[in-house]
Structure 1
Amino acid sequence: MQYRISIFFVLAFVLMTLRGFAQESLPNISYSGTPKKYEIADITVVGVQNYDPAILVNLSGLRKGQTISVPGDEITQAIQKYWNHGLFSNAKIVASKIEGRQIWLEIQLSERPRLSEIIYYGLKKGEIETISEKVAMMKGSQVTPFLVNRAEKYIKDHFVEKGFYNTEVKIFQRDDTTKVNHVILEITVDKKEKVKVKTITITGNQIFTARKLDRAMKKTNEKGKILNFFRTKKFVIEKYEEDKVAMIDKYNEKGYRDARVVWDSITRNDDNTVNVRIHVEEGKKYFFGDISWVGNTIYASDYLSQNLKVKKGDVFNPKYLEKRLSTDEDAVSNLYMDNGYLFSSITPVEISANGDTINLEMRVFEGPQATINNVVINGNTKTHEHVVRREIRTKPGQLFSKSELIRTVRELAQLGHFDPEKISPDVQPNQEEGNVDLVYNLEEKANDQIELSGGWGAGMFVGSLGLKFTNFSVRNIFNGEAWRPLPTGDGQTLSLRAQTNGSYYQTYSATFVEPWLGGKKPNSLSLSVYYSKMTSMSSSMYGSYYSSYYGNQQEDDRFMKVFGASIGYGKRLTWPDDFFTIYAELGYQYYSLKDWTSMFISDGKSNVITLGLTLSRNSLDNPLYTRSGSNFSIGTKFTPPFSLLIDKDYNTLYKRANDGTSTNASKAKTELYQFVEYHKWSFKGEMFKPLDNRSKLVLRGKVEGGFLGYYNESTKSPFEKYYVGGDGMSGYSMYGSETVGVRGYENSSLTPINNTGQYDGNMYTKMTMELRYPITLQPSATVYALAFAESGNAWTEFKDYNPFNLYRSAGVGLRIFLPIFGLMGIDWGYGFDEVAGRPTANGSQFHFVIGQSF
């Protein structure tokens, strides 16, 4: 009926229009008689500027040469099409000329106005940005009733999700006087107040307390309760419906599969709150009965049952059953998926229920094995494709493997060249062909880092410059077109660093790492070289004692120079699994000192030749914000036993070197440490475990320790000592020692001091527990907060070693990873235990972190 009335008004409008034009010498058409047939001679369009006339004519359904009735349905239907399209505020079709049986038609259209600007009232800047993305009305687009109504709906829905259940939206349209046929939309939003939950009353429950069921409702929580301080208290009907399902899921997980919400009610209060009442029916508890397998030919039923890890008599838990079948890392379906059976499926079917026991039949469809057809890589705009492909473990022609797909994602994340949160493998199966295409969608992220810093202290300026290029390309150094601004794309690492305050203190270092030596196997090559120099004038940085001791002597009169170089080779192992690597490094250090009393020798030269071996296993899933996996390493570094190879009386030299009254003590020290010897052992292990379903809250545990030994008691090494306590950054790394951070204590404050007044840590133990939670994981910045509990200590003699005698601390911190600057952070720690002889060592301490992780 409504349609007929609309047609009547349209037809009447056309009749009036044609009559009006008839008064202006347009063809006279009689509408009282029998309709006449005309052939359309031509069709023109007037009144529009932004559309192609030919397209508008096609939209009408009329065409040149067509025979129509006048008056008739063809004209009426054409006009209706323009109205239905929604882009025109007026539409008319008139006959501009009639000759015999031919008619010339003119389509008169008026465009709807276009959008000039949207002005929001009642919203904050951040809210406007979010709403604008949802509304998605671009400047210059036509303003139609549909788009206006859609905008109003999107805005209301957005704020309802935020708990503003009574939001009002008013949209006013006014002409833009500066542009022809353009309008400005003024959108006024009144969010009102959030609707919150005042009370939740649950009845009918006996198995679970109301408090436990209330905790199962994650998004619907009572206000005013301390337990809900960090939980949302707003009422959103969609979230409430989800929470009712979550509450029943809690029953299901405990075997109450018949549990249901019998009725519920929501009552509005005058203070903009609601009271929620829920009545549940729990039903009885069920248990797993017999589980049989049907359709399995690849794996035996006993083997599948063993991997299912569900036994007869266990509490019936559909959610756990689903996890064991498909979602867990070692789920039963993964047995098939890792063997190429991409199209396989396992469907649990209840075949009988005897009292409280449910018997299941697992119906297995194995299907054919799927081979990998194409492997496509998208998004690597900077990194060369061969660098990505050599990390991919899913090769064309191989059988599909889910575990290899997951491992590939990990390896691509470990490269550091792509945003690990955006690595998205797209599995495109083709069951008819029996194969699958894999598409790895990547997003490049900036990974090169720059360090530029300066500071003023001890009457001098100290500046640092460091550059780290993590995607360098040596082979393109002489290719001028590859310099943008540096040759990149081959995944090599080049690090350069310099620090100086002029001629008194200088240090330079360069490191190069090739992760795939030869390009065919993941065998790494590392090269490093460094040089540092300190002169007598720079010793003023260490206090007035040196200034008074040295007086005004010249720069070159006293100095310490250190030169070092190393070469390392790493190899990925295949046993026990291919997460293992072994790394060997040959290193050399040369120390040249002249009248430098702050070291163990004041004059002479020392040589340190080392060979290091490290066996490690790294299965961390993400290098920036790790959620799961572990990282363990055990290593040793040793020098040749020179005291056993060289015919020299080291015992006599040691006595002379430590005889304070001997005039030859300095010469004896020089000869004693001409070739330094030691052996050093270390162990480090850490594990990560997600604690929530979204894998955001992560628990990290770490334990580490080290031991510095000797071949001859008279030749104990003055190098490679452990300096424990503090931020783990400040200390004596230039002197060939290792700093170990223990937050909540001053730098090196947990390191024992020997009778000569020097730090003498020859072994240490450290334990750490951390809770981490991300603030943002965007490519431009990875930021997460942490809370930690830590303990550590160092000892000089092995007889004093006690791994349970540790200094304890706890605190909170923040980590920020910016691609151009690397890892930075700040920690506040509180050391609980007093350190003998160092009253200020513990207590409240702030620590800054640059380029490292505790």
Structure 2
Amino acid sequence: MKGIYHYKYLLVFVLFLSSTFAIGQDVPNISYSGSPKRYEISSIEVVGIQNLDPKMLAKLSGLREGQEIPVPGDEISQAIRKYWDQGLFSDVKIRAKHIEGRKIDLEIYLQERPRLSEMTFTGLKKSEVETVREKVSMMKGSQVTPFLIDKAEKYIKDYFVDKGFYNTEVNIIQKDDPAKANHVLLEINVDKKDKVKVNSLIFEGNEVLTDGKLNKAMKKTNEKGKILNFFRTKKFIAEKYEEDLTAVIDKYNEIGHRDARIVSEEVTRNIEDNTVDVKIKIEEGNKYYFGDISWVGNTIYPSDYLSYKLRIKKGDVFNQKLLGERIMDDEDAVQNEYMDNGYLFSNINPVEISVKGDTIDLEMRVYEGQQASINNVIIRGNTKTHEHVVRREIRTKPGQLFSKSELIRTVRELAQLGHFDPENISPDVQPNQDNGTVDLVYQLEEKANDQIELSGGWGAGMFVGSLGLKFTNFSIRNIFNGEAWRPLPTGDGQTLALRAQTNGKYYQSYSMSFTEPWLGGKKPNSLSLSIYHSIQTGVSSSYYNPSYGYGGYPGYGSSYPGYGGSSDITQHMKITGASVGFGKRLRWPDDWFTLYTEASYQRYDLLDWNYFIMQNGISNNLNFKVVLSRRSIDNPIYTRRGSDFSVGVEFTPPWSMFSDKDWSNQNISDEERYQRIEYHKWTFKGAVFKPIDTAEKLVVMGRMEMGFLGYYNKYLQSPFEKFILGGDGMSGYSMYGSETIGLRGYENSSLTPYNTEGSYDGNIYNKLSLEVRYPLALQPSATVFALGFLEAGNAWSQYEDFNPFELKRSAGVGLRIFLPIFGLMGIDWGYGFDDSPYRQNAGGSQFHFVIGQSF
């Protein structure tokens, strides 16, 4: 019995030694003295913990009941190491609770690391606290470990170093929380110090490239105090500085100086003003040119064809960057020719075979490999959109040869759906060279894209309210399936839009539209249906004056009671219309083209409505529309590249040709003359997008559009379908028989001519726009970008007066916000530089609000 107690005390002593070392340090090697004795574990009990499962912790030790272990021995010390390795405990002890014969009961004591009660910051602004708190990412109730504290300190320092606070100091103080057991308070003290900026940037040894060009190449290291660097960062960050040194050499390589190198570089700290002086000495070396370029290993394509695709000729300035782009990176690069034909495993390696003076001969060594066919196409992340909606847009089908261009096109098509975050559509190419196949995984991230409009306001002595619902991923086939209403039947990619607007008895408008993008489900042929009805009443004919706009339209003019006009409820304009359209994706000239045809009908009911040539009676408009378009943009919300062109014609039957009436007779009433409207209307719109920086954030957009409204009979010129130019482009005149064209920097409709009867008479227009855009946020929850613009345009009554160079100019800035539930919204400030012959003071400083417009 005495021997048993001897071993028991020895075991407790050894185990105590094995668990008494500082928190956060590595577990020390443990050596034992004395002769070990083997025991069978009869029970294991975990004590001391509060928030963790004792059974799971017991298994974590690696010890189990019935196991025979030596005491003292490595099994106990290994178990202790396992607990320390978890980083969750501040104290670990293993005790022999009871020993009887060869049986031993073990008690494992674990002290959990403290948990976080509160985290406070000093030395930071309120806005900085929120950002830093997010980066630290330590939630209340989480365990506080030395690793997390060190990680938090590093994240905070790195964040402020990126902001130019190069000497930031962070001190994290941990205090026990007196109100909660085993909880601590963290006080994070941040001393940002002052920003370290570049006082001077001096280059030596450069003759080929000027200081200005080298300074421009160093995008993140720029001198303070220079006007040219006003919009560039002037802070000194060592990591960015090293990247800029590489950029300088890359700049030389692009102009043929492949031997250029940094001989020395010196950064001198100025303590008094917390700046640095940077001196860089450069050896430019000689300029080289491309020599002979030969091809080896190519059997699929002849050498002449590959040289043509390379687009680099003998005598061109040697440019390593250009060479890489023409081999692999560009959209029409040489290797893409192979990859579009299934040669996924191909490779082209340029080798310098000789350097003669300033000429470099290259041998392009081609490894073609075998063609790869697509094995599996896997779709992930479509939690809402049905899989068949995604698969019908995928151009890489199982069994086909791999094609890089079709892979890129698929990503664009999925982005165009609008159901997924375009920034996070990431195809994963998983090749299997052993069997010549490839699996493609399209990882998607659903985003909310249904939109709701619910607005109301008080103006002109009355309330104006709007309710609009747009469901862009609707499923009409499940409309009678109760289980599919969550809260609506969705997933089939159809669009259903409902909208109502009213301000009581003066104005009401109702519309509904439905679009099926894949009619029949087998081909990308769309079907569109719409119906609408609007009623407008109560504008006195004594008030109207084209110089001030349409007084009777809600929100435009002042003809409502209390604003100088008089209401007359007997006046009205009622429009009822319906349309059906069919769209088809074409294969020629290429499959970016679509052809859209539409038949529509509008019925105008006018009573003393003096805004058109026709003021009383019923007018009918049966028209047909044909639009040929080519759309290749990469992202419908923040477009970086691609183009969008369309040319269309809308026409009515030439009713007057089937009549023997003399329409030049002035005695024919307007109601008879315009009973059936006739016209032909031609439109062209085009936009091109291109990124202008390496990060592909800064994007330039050029746009051009024009329209012409013609007639079959000069005595039957249409009173409707005119072009209304100027302003925000949101006036809604399309519901009133005209088409509104925005031109920022001018008042709404202020650039539109009017005829002797006092009606707007814009029959031809053209418009040019140039925008530069920069994204502020590209997230599924919100897309925000800023823009600057130049615009010019004009409208004319007669074709004889048309002058495409006589344009009204404007410039300004704006902001766009896309929220999935509300759609695109924005505000522009524009300044119109020219006078309008149709309205005084139409230009100058103007603010415009934008809702729902594309581009």
Aligned residues: 814
Q: Does 1:579 align with 2:581?
A: no
Q: Does 1:807 align with 2:808?
A: yes
1:610-644 CA distance string (max 9 Å, x none): 11111111111111111111111111111111111
Residue in 1 aligned with 2:23? Answer: none
Q: Residue 647 of structure 1: CA displacement?
A: 2.4
State which of 521, 524, 542 in structure 2 corresponds to 1:522: 524
CA contact (8 A) 2:540 2:567 kept: no
Instruction: Provide the C-alpha distance between the structure 1 equivalents of 2:69 and 2:462, rounded to a whole number of angstroms.
Output: 97
Q: Residue 105 of structure 1: CA displacement?
A: 6.9
Instruction: Provide the C-alpha distance between the structure 2 equivalents of 1:820 and 1:414, rounded to a whole number of angstroms.
Output: 17
Residue in 2 aligned with 1:820? Answer: 821
Q: Residue 124 of structure 1: CA displacement?
A: 3.8
Map of 1:692-703 to 2, 5 A cutoff? 692-703=693-704
Residue in 1 aligned with 2:29? Answer: none
Residue in 2 aligned with 1:531? Answer: 533
Amino acid at match of 1:750: L
Residue in 2 aligned with 1:436? Answer: 438
Instruction: Provide the C-alpha distance between the structure 2 equivalents of 1:485 and 1:225, rounded to a whole number of angstroms.
Output: 58
Residue in 2 aligned with 1:672? Answer: 673
1:387-427 CA distance string (max 9 Å, x none): 11111111111111111111111111111111111111111
Q: Does 1:615 align with 2:628?
A: yes
Residue in 1 aligned with 2:48? Answer: 48
Instruction: Provide the C-alpha distance between the structure 2 equivalents of 1:34 and 1:829, rounded to a whole number of angstroms.
Output: 87
Instruction: Provide the C-alpha distance between the structure 1 equivalents of 2:460 and 2:159, rounded to a whole number of angstroms.
Output: 58
1:761-805 CA distance string (max 9 Å, x none): 211111111111111122222221111111111122222211111
Residue in 2 aligned with 1:333? Answer: 335
1:50-86 CA distance string (max 9 Å, x none): 464785587477986646375x777667666666665
Residue in 2 aligned with 1:488? Answer: 490
Residue in 2 aligned with 1:760? Answer: 761
Amino acid at match of 2:492: D
Amino acid at match of 1:621: D
Instruction: Provide the C-alpha distance between the structure 2 equivalents of 1:829 and 1:356, rounded to a whole number of angstroms.
Output: 54
CA contact (8 A) 1:60 1:82 kept: no
**What TM-score do you get using the length of structure 2 for normalisation?**
0.89
SS, match of residue 188 in structure 2: strand
SS, match of residue 625 in structure 1: coil
Instruction: Provide the C-alpha distance between the structure 1 equivalents of 2:522 and 2:56, rounded to a whole number of angstroms.
Output: 61
- Segments of 5+ residues of structure 2 without an aligned counterpart are 1-9, 18-31, 544-550
Residue in 2 aligned with 1:377? Answer: 379
State which of 487, 511, 514 in structure 2 corresponds to 1:512: 514
CA contact (8 A) 2:61 2:80 kept: no
Instruction: Provide the C-alpha distance between the structure 2 equivalents of 1:765 and 1:241, rounded to a whole number of angstroms.
Output: 50
Q: Residue 148 of structure 1: CA displacement?
A: 3.3
Amino acid at match of 2:258: R
Q: Does 1:705 align with 2:706?
A: yes
Residue in 1 aligned with 2:424? Answer: 422
- Segments of 5+ residues of structure 1 without an aligned counterpart are 1-10, 19-32, 658-667
1:174-204 CA distance string (max 9 Å, x none): 2233333333333322222222222222212
State which of 392, 397, 402 in structure 2 corresponds to 1:395: 397
Residue in 2 aligned with 1:29? Answer: none
Residue in 1 aligned with 2:324? Answer: 322
Instruction: Provide the C-alpha distance between the structure 1 equivalents of 2:727 and 2:114, rounded to a whole number of angstroms.
Output: 64
Amino acid at match of 1:446: A
Residue in 2 aligned with 1:233? Answer: 234
Instruction: Provide the C-alpha distance between the structure 2 equivalents of 1:566 and 1:129, rounded to a whole number of angstroms.
Output: 52
CA contact (8 A) 2:340 2:403 kept: yes
Residue in 2 aligned with 1:113? Answer: 113
Map of 1:601-680 to 2, 5 A cutoff? 601-652=614-665, 655-657=666-668, 668-680=669-681
1:266-289 CA distance string (max 9 Å, x none): 222112222222211111111111
State which of 284, 296, 299 in structure 1 corresponds to 2:298: 296
CA contact (8 A) 1:37 1:67 kept: no
CA contact (8 A) 2:39 2:71 kept: no
How has the CA–CA distance of structure 1 residues 34 and 216 changed in structure 2, closer, same or farther, with 3 Å as cutoff?
closer
How has the CA–CA distance of structure 1 residues 120 and 395 changed in structure 2, closer, same or farther, with 3 Å as cutoff?
same
SS, match of residue 743 in structure 2: coil
Amino acid at match of 1:356: D
CA contact (8 A) 2:44 2:64 kept: no
1:708-743 CA distance string (max 9 Å, x none): 111111111111111122222226323321111122
Amino acid at match of 2:340: D
How has the CA–CA distance of structure 1 residues 840 and 156 changed in structure 2, closer, same or farther, with 3 Å as cutoff?
closer
Instruction: Provide the C-alpha distance between the structure 1 equivalents of 2:452 and 2:703, rounded to a whole number of angstroms.
Output: 29
Instruction: Provide the C-alpha distance between the structure 2 equivalents of 1:223 and 1:545, rounded to a whole number of angstroms.
Output: 57
SS, match of residue 754 in structure 1: coil
Instruction: Provide the C-alpha distance between the structure 1 equivalents of 2:745 and 2:708, rounded to a whole number of angstroms.
Output: 23
Map of 1:784-799 to 2, 5 A cutoff? 784-799=785-800
Residue in 2 aligned with 1:594? Answer: 607
Q: 107-116 or 782-791: which moved more?
A: 107-116
Residue in 2 aligned with 1:665? Answer: none
Instruction: Provide the C-alpha distance between the structure 2 equivalents of 1:93 and 1:525, rounded to a whole number of angstroms.
Output: 74
Residue in 2 aligned with 1:664? Answer: none
Q: Residue 570 of structure 1: CA displacement?
A: 0.9
Map of 1:8-19 to 2, 5 A cutoff? 14=13
SS, match of residue 158 in structure 2: helix
Instruction: Provide the C-alpha distance between the structure 2 equivalents of 1:735 and 1:493, rounded to a whole number of angstroms.
Output: 24
Instruction: Provide the C-alpha distance between the structure 1 equivalents of 2:432 and 2:674, rounded to a whole number of angstroms.
Output: 70
Residue in 1 aligned with 2:686? Answer: 685
Instruction: Provide the C-alpha distance between the structure 2 equivalents of 1:83 and 1:596, rounded to a whole number of angstroms.
Output: 86
How has the CA–CA distance of structure 1 residues 152 and 790 changed in structure 2, closer, same or farther, with 3 Å as cutoff?
closer
Instruction: Provide the C-alpha distance between the structure 1 equivalents of 2:670 and 2:843, rounded to a whole number of angstroms.
Output: 36
Q: Residue 217 of structure 1: CA displacement?
A: 1.0
**What TM-score do you get using the length of structure 1 for normalisation?**
0.89
Instruction: Provide the C-alpha distance between the structure 1 equivalents of 2:504 and 2:303, rounded to a whole number of angstroms.
Output: 76
Residue in 2 aligned with 1:358? Answer: 360
Instruction: Provide the C-alpha distance between the structure 1 equivalents of 2:412 and 2:503, rounded to a whole number of angstroms.
Output: 43
Q: Residue 677 of structure 1: CA displacement?
A: 1.0
How has the CA–CA distance of structure 1 residues 236 and 61 changed in structure 2, closer, same or farther, with 3 Å as cutoff?
farther
Instruction: Provide the C-alpha distance between the structure 1 equivalents of 2:60 and 2:506, rounded to a whole number of angstroms.
Output: 84
Q: Residue 521 of structure 1: CA displacement?
A: 0.7
Instruction: Provide the C-alpha distance between the structure 2 equivalents of 1:552 and 1:359, rounded to a whole number of angstroms.
Output: 86
Amino acid at match of 2:39: I
Instruction: Provide the C-alpha distance between the structure 1 equivalents of 2:724 and 2:46, rounded to a whole number of angstroms.
Output: 87
1:399-457 CA distance string (max 9 Å, x none): 11111111111111111111111111111112122111111111121212222233334
Instruction: Provide the C-alpha distance between the structure 2 equivalents of 1:281 and 1:12, rounded to a whole number of angstroms.
Output: 71
1:342-389 CA distance string (max 9 Å, x none): 111111111111111111111111111111111111121221111111
Q: Percent identity?
A: 65
Residue in 1 aligned with 2:451? Answer: 449
SS, match of residue 770 in structure 2: strand
CA contact (8 A) 1:57 1:63 kept: no
Instruction: Provide the C-alpha distance between the structure 2 equivalents of 1:572 and 1:558, rounded to a whole number of angstroms.
Output: 45
Q: 640-649 or 565-574: which moved more?
A: 640-649
SS, match of residue 815 in structure 1: strand
CA contact (8 A) 1:824 1:851 kept: yes
SS, match of residue 444 in structure 1: coil
Instruction: Provide the C-alpha distance between the structure 2 equivalents of 1:685 and 1:726, rounded to a whole number of angstroms.
Output: 20
SS, match of residue 214 in structure 2: helix
Amino acid at match of 1:474: I
Instruction: Provide the C-alpha distance between the structure 2 equivalents of 1:600 and 1:328, rounded to a whole number of angstroms.
Output: 56
1:248-306 CA distance string (max 9 Å, x none): 11111111111111222222211222222221111111111111111111111111111
Q: 432-441 or 168-177: which moved more?
A: 168-177
Amino acid at match of 1:255: G
How has the CA–CA distance of structure 1 residues 265 and 671 changed in structure 2, closer, same or farther, with 3 Å as cutoff?
same
1:483-541 CA distance string (max 9 Å, x none): 22222211111111222222332221111111111111111111111112233468786
How has the CA–CA distance of structure 1 residues 354 and 498 changed in structure 2, closer, same or farther, with 3 Å as cutoff?
same
Instruction: Provide the C-alpha distance between the structure 2 equivalents of 1:711 and 1:695, rounded to a whole number of angstroms.
Output: 49
Amino acid at match of 1:432: D
Instruction: Provide the C-alpha distance between the structure 2 equivalents of 1:781 and 1:34, rounded to a whole number of angstroms.
Output: 67
Instruction: Provide the C-alpha distance between the structure 2 equivalents of 1:610 and 1:34, rounded to a whole number of angstroms.
Output: 102
Instruction: Provide the C-alpha distance between the structure 2 equivalents of 1:77 and 1:675, rounded to a whole number of angstroms.
Output: 95
